Amino acid sequence: MEMANVEETMRELRESYRRRKTRSAAWRRTQLEGLSRMLKEKEAEIFKALKQDLGKAPEEAFRDEIGILWKSLNLTMASLEEWMAPKKVPVPIIAFPTSAELVPEPLGVVLILSSWNFPFGLSLDPLIGAIAAGNAVVLKPSEMAPACSTFLATHIPKYLDHEAVKVIPGGVHVAQILLDQKWDKIFFTGSARVGRIVMSAAAKHLTPVTLELGGKCPAILDRLSFSMDYQVAVKRIVSGKWGPCSGQACVGIDYLLVEEQRVPKLMEDIKIHLKKLYGDKPLETNSMSRIVNKHHFQRLKKLLDEPGVAATIIHGGALDEPNLFIEPTILLNPPLDSELMTEEIFGPLLPIITLKKIDESIDFINARPRPLAMYVFTKDESLKKKVVAETSSGSVTFNDAIIQFALDTLPFGGVGESGFGKYHGKFSFDAFSHGKSVLRRSFLTEFSFGYPPWNAYKLRFLRAAYSFDYINLFLLFVGLKRS
């Protein structure tokens, strides 16, 4: 796409927004219903596109993308009028007689730049929020999932208002052209490196941004007395590492912290659960996604080829470059200064870091950039409180992994280098809205204490009003405390 085409697209979108066609609840609901129909009517084609781009099985595709989008759409359509309604806010007595409210209004024409690892979920979930909030939208899906990008560019115009919602596919060149435009909001999902580019471009126009980035999400495995609890924990760790897109997920477990004495037993049990989930030959299973492309395959291979890293592999390590598969691989205490331990892995490699005592995990995590998510497997209430009080992350989940992403009632987002801003459910609506403050004051009564000429009586009146001292305020008002 050339600059002239983008500029024409922007003019059409701004004209649609200027004519206020995106403002009505009816328009918003129609678009949301169109998305819902697309997901249901084109499910087989969506499965096919995800299989082609990432090797995802239909069950995984439904669990991680389509099902979550259904849930998000149902909640948004059921709550739309409530979210759109002005919200009354309390007014202090000093402002009497006054009423006030917050009125949610759309930001305008917004840009959504999505990622490739969940190409439907990470494109359409923000789109749901942007439409619900009444914006005109450009969605640029990732070129690294070409079949999914083509699907979105082909079918969204058939189901949604093409004058106000547009899909612009393309690579880095197209992204740069889009970032050169003036937007009213940019929502980006991807790496911290590209996030810095997006933020720099947005700064030219003082455009607000939401950055959904990543980071090295740690998991802590504490002592668990009951065998059943322990086995469930190991199963959830295995699933939280290799289950979502073969570890190509920003919320996936990046590395595991455990007491060193527990490693032999842990390794036995991880292998058992890997076999249950992915069979004896994981590279031949239909239950694991493949690496997205050759570039990322080579990036992961390079992590394993670093000095001192290969020697720490204690399970897996097999590579199938023609088919872009990497066997679930576990490394024990790789060098902490290696890229494997300083960069987000985003693949099926799990470093296990051993500690003398599990309490040391707090300092280990705090010595590194704040992660998007933390996972702590423990029944120790004091450790739970310590993790919540003494660490910072986008979210903390106890005794499971990934599940927090599916909860519409919890905001999803990072902190620090893992991103800022949040979405999901009502938080998506808020991410694309401006809460406009509206105050209504009556002409009925006019008090003189707020105006010159000043005197000691007016100062006492103001002191009582601002400190909510209603008794003295009343006495001053009726003239019983003038002296």
Residue 339 annotated in active site? no
Distance of CA 9 to the CA centre of its chain: 27
Residue 245 annotated in active site? no
How crowded is residue 407: how many other Cβ atoms within 10 Å of its Cβ? 14
- The amino acid at residue 184 is D
Residue 43: how many CA atoms within 13 Å on its side-chain side? 15
- Non-local (6+) Cβ contacts of 111 within 8 A are 137, 138, 140, 178, 179, 181, 183, 185, 186, 187
Asked if residue 126 lies in contact with residue 187, where contact means CB atoms within 8 angstroms, the answer is yes
DSSP summary character for residue 454: P
Closest-CA residue to 126 (of 182, 165, 172, 93): 165
The helix-helix angle for 67-84 and 121-132 (nearest 10°) equals: 10
DSSP summary character for residue 76: H
374 - beta bridge partners? 396
Alpha-carbon distance 1 to 103, whole Å?
37
Token pair belonging to 160: 């949604």
Return the sign of the alpha-carbon dihedral for residues 158, 36, 411, 237: negative
Catalytic-role residue among 148, 217, 245, 250: 250
Token pair belonging to 86: 């002005």
Return the sign of the alpha-carbon dihedral for residues 387, 390, 391, 395: positive
Cα→Cα distances 377→107, 224, 313, 338, Å: 41, 8, 24, 26
Catalytic-role residue among 60, 65, 212, 417: 212
Alpha-carbon distance 10 to 154, whole Å?
19
Q: How many helices (H) and strands (E) would you count in the chain?
A: 18, 18
Residue 401 Ramachandran class (φ > 0 left, ψ -120 to 50 alpha, else beta): beta
- Non-local (6+) Cβ contacts of 157 within 8 A are 166, 167
- Give the residue numbers marked as catalytic: 212, 250
